[in-house]
Amino acid sequence: MVYKGWLGNLDPFGQIARFQRDMNNLFETHRWQSRSARAREYPPLNVSRDENELIVSVELPGMSMENVQLSLTGDTLSIKGERKTMAADAKDVAALRTERPAGGFMRTIELPERTNPDKAEARYANGVLTVRIPKDEAARPRRIEVKAS
């Protein structure tokens, strides 16, 4: 339905559709900006603990462990590596859509407790790197027996 008036032809439904399209574009832009902000926190990781060790799980799907370096200095764990694109080795290949981050990365996390870096172990399985770092003996909880006097 088009109304004619002194402002010209008015199409209220067309204006509503245009407004909806503009709002969708606004939210789509925000969604991609949020995704790129998360890409800076690559690779995603979790840190947990039990009474004997700290456990750091890092998602690194499709990566070769030859391209990953771990270092533990004091209470700081650093994870450094490089993810290559799948088409990096192929010639005459044009990317049509790229959503997986590629390139170098480095994550540094402060560990919440003192650890024993000499006994740390790292394993990679199913795209997840798991680093187990035993707590320092002094940092482990001790049970204190209460004696009656």
For residue 111, the cross-strand partners are none
| Domain identity same for 50 and 106 | yes
CA distances from 115 to 4, 9, 32, 46, 138 (A): 77, 74, 39, 17, 9
Which structural domain, as residue segments, surrounds residue 25? 3-39
The count of structural domains within the chain is: 2
Residues 59 and 100 in one domain: yes
Contact between 144 and 124 (Cβ < 8 Å): no
Q: Is the dihedral of CA 38, 44, 72, 103 positive or negative?
A: negative
Please report, for residues 61, 75, 108, the alpha-carbon distance to residue 113 in angstroms, rounded to integers and kept in the order given.
28, 7, 15
Is residue 149 a part of any domain in this protein?
A: no
Residues 51 and 113 reside in one and the same domain: yes
Report the CATH number at residue 113.
2.60.40.790
Question: Is 145 a member of any domain?
Answer: no
Digitized pLDDT (tens) for each residue of the chain, 149 residues in all = 555 555 556 677 777 888 888 887 777 655 544 444 544 578 899 999 998 999 999 999 888 899 999 999 888 999 999 887 765 556 777 777 777 777 889 999 999 888 888 999 999 999 999 999 999 887 667 788 899 88
